[in-house]
Structure 1
């Protein structure tokens, strides 16, 4: 795999390596394809979605997957691992390898957002392996726990409203409605650090990604592979990722827009909203923007707006678009680079090559260690 695809990382660990005693049996396996690593360092937003799913083959285990989103909001697989269980040691090992082998070495940890559910051992592993990163909790899992505890769909809807709110006043209003409906539920929610789940209090860049959709979608992609032996599972992920890259190269070849397809649609909606606002100049970069409900401040140099959308999405909001109209500024210059169609093309420009059958493998320069099943 490493010979056919430059930059690919594969690490096999036996139990004696992990625990220092016992037989040479299979312990853990980590792999990440070179084109994914290269794209993540150059053209994809610094967001990592982490999830795990159970294997159903003869030898039980957990398949861990780290994914992100490309400039068109599509799933972008980063790395995988097969481990025995979802304990702290497994998560710490996986995240350390992500940091050392997949994440760009010239980036600081606090420039990355890790998004996950609160799986056993994962919270502690993220805090220890990436102490400067921003850890976001999946709202879907929190909502599921809330529903299980308090049996109320209304509370779940209000909780989602509080989580997605980009204004402090909207967040407080939703929390007050939750308290009025059920004080115990409000207390239960308040015990979860709000900087890990509420958009308005999140300190890093979350890009409005609050659910597990991407990570769980890839679990569905691999659904039929969870019964496969480990070697076949690895090859299955290779041709799935290979197919992703090829399909998206074909799709972007038809684009005539400056941004990716979804980003262009989002920007068009912002322009439509912006046409209804009244902008006023405060300085070269700061503008006051009036709407029927709010008065907001948009800073074009900092790419921020008090509505929260500009910095959350990485694309100009309606208020910023209205401000740009005063001086006829180019709206595309204020979009994050990963939304550009040219950046999207660079993301998928590399090819994931097939691996050859065993009869065509080169003779290794070292003795291969035979590992027994776990």
Structure 2
């Protein structure tokens, strides 16, 4: 049974204990207590992906290898002092793969950021940044593991984005209204204040926060009169910086892609982001290569936009005397 659980965990680290319990019941005909299955899953994770504590020591070596064999990859560490001479304590780590940094030069100047929980032995948050490519697809940019979402961690992450990923001006940065982000976004030293960048809010988060606070249906219908700068969350007052992207849903979708990674030991987590990003880019490369071979000049996303505009257009004929 342990081998079967290991195989399931290897294929999907996020598999729930309830699913494993049901599998055992169907195959072996008896019900195992939740606690025992939980322990079995935890042991399987260690066998397949390594020990949580030892994983922290392996991570610097693994990332060094990635930097060496993938030119342009950037890694930054935030280490804490230790009482033990010659040792440091892990605080945070930021990483961005070389091909992503290079590819962003050809994406629209738009970045979405978000944070999501880690569910392994040690808690924390994974911060992510992504853009949108010419075909309207998610374009992973950078990741970080931090102790939580606060002013210090967001300041550190946003500064690393400027230092290692892009120094382009005029970027639209879309996020939720987390206090940590709002408290540092206008700090000129970080590099995301206007006119270097234009911070915009995720419309869905604005609406959700309003609806959670005010239960009255009448008030919910007035959400679009919320006392928030219209330039921050409406397309009509946006000056075009959003490129039509009203939410940070793409960033949340990417968090879903890496859902299984969030309960893994540290090195396995980072390794999974590496290989899934490779797979993602390879699939996109194959799609575009096939389109080029067919003689297509514009992306599928662009052609749909042009066709839609063409269908809604009209002609006016005038007689000239």
Q: Say whether the fold is shared (TM-score over 0.5).
A: yes
The answer as to whether partners of 1:95 and 1:125 remain within 8 angstroms in 2 is no
2:276 equivalent to 1:240? yes
Structure 2 CA distance for partners of 1:203 and 1:273, relative to 1, 3 Å: closer
3-state secondary structure, aligned to 2:177 = coil
Q: Deviations over 1:101-157 (max 9, x none)?
A: 1013xx33xx11000001121012221121121111001111111221223678657
TM-score (norm 1): 0.61
The answer as to whether partners of 2:203 and 2:234 remain within 8 angstroms in 1 is no
Counterpart position of 2:17: none
Mapped partners of 1:16, 1:45: distance in 2: 40
Match of 1:140 among 176, 181, 204: 204
The answer as to whether partners of 2:76 and 2:160 remain within 8 angstroms in 1 is no
For 1:243-282, what aligned pairs fall within 5 Å after superposition? 243-255=279-291, 256=294, 257-275=296-314, 278=316
Could you list the runs of 5+ residues in structure 2 that have no partner in the other structure?
1-65
The answer as to whether partners of 2:78 and 2:92 remain within 8 angstroms in 1 is yes
Structure 2 CA distance for partners of 1:154 and 1:273, relative to 1, 3 Å: farther
Counterpart position of 1:125: 184
Counterpart position of 2:136: 73
Structure 2 CA distance for partners of 1:228 and 1:86, relative to 1, 3 Å: same
Q: Deviations over 1:326-359 (max 9, x none)?
A: xxxxxxxxxxxxxxxxxxxxxxxxxxxxxxxxxx
2:165 equivalent to 1:102? yes
The answer as to whether partners of 1:113 and 1:204 remain within 8 angstroms in 2 is no
Counterpart position of 1:228: 264
Could you list the runs of 5+ residues in structure 1 that have no partner in the other structure?
18-22, 163-185, 281-374
Match of 2:122 among 49, 53, 59: 59
Mapped partners of 1:279, 1:261: distance in 2: 32
For 1:277-296, what aligned pairs fall within 5 Å after superposition? 278=316
Mapped partners of 2:265, 2:221: distance in 1: 41
TM-score (norm 2): 0.71
Number of residue pairs the alignment of both structures matches: 243
The two structures, once aligned, show a CA RMSD in angstroms of: 2.3
Counterpart position of 2:145: 82
Quote how far apart the aligned CAs of 1:24 are.
Answer: 1.6
Quote how far apart the aligned CAs of 1:45 are.
Answer: 0.8
The answer as to whether partners of 2:72 and 2:99 remain within 8 angstroms in 1 is yes
2:215 equivalent to 1:151? yes
Structure 2 CA distance for partners of 1:235 and 1:153, relative to 1, 3 Å: farther
Counterpart position of 2:245: 209
3-state secondary structure, aligned to 2:309 = helix
Quote how far apart the aligned CAs of 1:279 are.
Answer: 8.9
